[in-house]
A and B are shown apart, each in its own frame.
Chain A
Amino acid sequence: MASFLATYDFLLVAVLALTLYLPLMAGQLSVASPGFYALGGYIAAIMSTKIFPPGPGLYPVSLVLLEMAVAAVVSGVLGLAVGVPALRLRGIFLALATIAFVQILGVVALNLDVTGGAIGIFGIPQPFSSAIQYMWLAVPLLVVSMLFVARLERTRTGRALVALREDELAAAAMGINPTYHKVLAFTTSAMLAGAVGAVSAHFINTWNSRQGTFDTSVNLMAFVLVGGSRTFVGPVVGGLVLTALPEALRGIAGVDVLPAWLAAFLRDGRLIIFGILIAIGTVFFPHGLITPGLLRRLGRRGARPG
């Protein structure tokens, strides 16, 4: 179990799924977060290899936290700059604009000198002596972001976002400023994605333009849509299960329970399964598997004695 936890960054992926969920709370399908994730990773990679040259021993965790903060601020500023004009668009147009945004960032990262071009940046210093200790960063990050979104859902702002999702025109008529709230959700999501990228860069140890691409967008959409897009629990569970499941199955595949062809398929065909899950999910579970109604039923059952 320990080695399994250490090899997979599924906790970080769950946080990333939340970054897709935030704009979706307001009904905005934005797939920009892989772009901010990539940006955050580059910021951490550049800071830790060029600005604070690694000395002997472990890289200080405090500097990782500083990188996360810088990544969040820079991503937030870029998010604001992109979000203010882009969030006048809605529906398909916003999705297209954010796809274009991720593509442009990818080409720029591939060609700048500071990002290491096609090779990227490698040898990013490690703040921990073993991968499992990344839990000290990943678990608090996940818990804090979950608490944040959970609280948000119950505040005035969160309810305003949901009102916008249900009916933007009616919400606007009730005095909710659509642009302000959408940009707020988008920028918060960008900041969070940037911070996750900063941790991921250290965890993966190398960062290049293959991180945070359109593929990541598709994966995140699978997490949110299969997990559930109406409560923050959905994306987190979707992200945890869909990334951990293939790994767990791969473990099973190793002990000869599964036939070889199926084991090979589970190893190489992950995106086939994700794609099919997205398609099936949208047809049969348009709100995902975990819905607020389901959570309420579970809550009642838990509360009843016996």
Chain B
Amino acid sequence: MNRTFLLQQVLNGLAIGSVYAIFALGYTLIFSVLRIINFTHGAIFTIGAYATYALTGSQFGINGLLAGAALPFRLPFVLALLGGSIVAALAGVIVERLAFRPLRARGADPLLTLVSSLGVAVALVNITQYLFGAEPYSYPDPLQGLPSAVNFGTAAAPVLVRTVQVVIFGVSMVMLVLLTYLMNATRTGKALRAVAEDMTTSSLLGIDTDRLVLLTFVISGFLGGVTGTLIGLSVGVAGPYFGIAFGLKGLAVIVLGGLGDIPGAVVGGLIIGLAEAFVPAQYIAYREAVPFALLFVVLLVRPQGLLGRAQVQKV
């Protein structure tokens, strides 16, 4: 394995890993506050990708109920990305109201909440499929005019990384910085961390926990929407189910990093991205199994995740 190849794979791995990381942060934020895994995250990813597609003014295919439909205006890609992610954030709000709040009000078993969110996820993905069909879509190329790849090596030993990869890495980093700022340097972030630490106590201290839970879903939905669009930009929108598949991969990331652990989600995302990038070419067909194999092994060996602390079982 020479150095150029190594650098090439590291860069590819970091680019995809950064997207895994911000996607997984959506799971992690909700888990840290509510101690539940929000299975709708993958469906929200799908909704974000489709909303962005619609906002670019592109036309839908022939299989759905809205066959051939298109919005009467076209937004530039950056605005469409923002708008699509806002739509995803709104979807997150609806999900919280419909699937999580009623169960929280009843103090239901977390396992039941997991199942309920799975139900909502399946419904959302299939509604998307019903409306827009199952065909793959790709965005009108927003990077026109730019070279298709950036050379990180020398002219003699080129290390070419697709421009798209550079863009998605950049956007992911921006999201990560914004989120870090929000969590660590603002009053809202402090309140969020307090709610994650202990919901009852923070509500006694005058924090409006319901509002903050809603905010968590907004941020998480926004992150899901951004990821949906970024992945759609990189490999195309492969039908509504691509969110479910991606959502399951995201589970591997959060378990690897430790459930509810924010730095852990970032580390987990990067590790899974790199692990996928380093699958040897002859076993490339098995790449899709890598995150799940890691998930399985980590659960058996270190269920608290790489950075997590073991939970003490209280009696």
Contact = CB atoms under 8 A, between A and B. Distances in A.
Interface of A: 29, 85-86, 88-89, 91-93, 95-97, 99-101, 103-104, 107-108, 110-111, 169, 214, 218, 221-222, 225, 265, 268-269, 271-272, 274-279, 281-283, 286
Given A104-B289, A218-B122, A283 B116 contact: yes
Contact of A275 (B112, B122, B293, B300): B122
Nearest to A226: B119
B292 interface: yes
Nearest to A173: B315
10 contacts: A92-B37, A92-B259, A93-B303, A99-B292, A101-B292, A103-B288, A276-B120, A276-B123, A279-B119, A281-B119
Interface centre among B123, B288, B315 (most CB of A within 10 A): B123
Contacts of A86: 299-300
Interface stretch (B6-14, B124-132, B231-239): B124-132
B251 interface: yes
Nearest to B249: A103
B289 A103 contact: yes
A214 B112 CA distance: 18
> By DSSP majority rule, is chain B's interface helix, strand, loop, or mixed?
helix
Interface centre among A29, A89, A278, A282 (most CB of B within 10 A): A282
B77 interface: no
B118 A218 contact: yes
Interface string B32-70: 000011000000000000000000000000000000000
Nearest to A274: B122
A279 B248 contact: no
A110 B283 CA distance: 13
Lowest 9 CB-CB distances: which A-B pairs, in order? Answer: A278-B119, A275-B123, A275-B122, A107-B289, A279-B119, A282-B116, A100-B292, A271-B126, A103-B292
B99 to A, nearest CB: 6
A99 B114 CA distance: 13
Nearest to A102: B292
Nearest to B285: A111
Interface residues of B, number: 46
Contact of B303 (A89, A279, A283): A89
Contacts of B25: none
Interface centre among B99, B120, B292, B315 (most CB of A within 10 A): B292
A29 B299 contact: no
A278 B115 contact: yes
B116 A278 contact: yes
Contacts of A276: 119-120, 123
Contact of B119 (A88, A91, A110, A274): A274
Contacts of B37: 92, 96
Contact of A214 (B103, B106, B119, B244): B244
Interface string B293-315: 10110011001000000000001
Interface string B220-239: 00000000000000000000
B142 interface: no
Given A100-B299, A271-B125, 14 more contacts: A85-B300, A89-B300, A95-B111, A99-B292, A103-B288, A104-B292, A110-B285, A269-B127, A272-B123, A275-B120, A275-B121, A278-B119, A282-B116, A283-B108
B295 A282 contact: no
A279 B109 CA distance: 14
Contacts of A99: 248, 251, 292
B110 interface: yes
A283 B106 contact: yes
A100 B296 CA distance: 6
B30 interface: no
B255 interface: yes
B123 to A, nearest CB: 3
Given A93-B299, A278-B119, A283 B124 contact: no
B115 A97 contact: no
Contact of A107 (B99, B111, B122, B286): B286
A29 B248 CA distance: 17
A95 B259 CA distance: 14
Contacts of B130: 265, 268-269, 272
Interface string B274-293: 00000000000110110011
A96 to B, nearest CB: 6
A214 to B, nearest CB: 7
B108 A282 contact: yes
A275 B108 contact: no
Nearest to A265: B130
Nearest to B124: A275
A89 B123 contact: no
Nearest to B296: A100
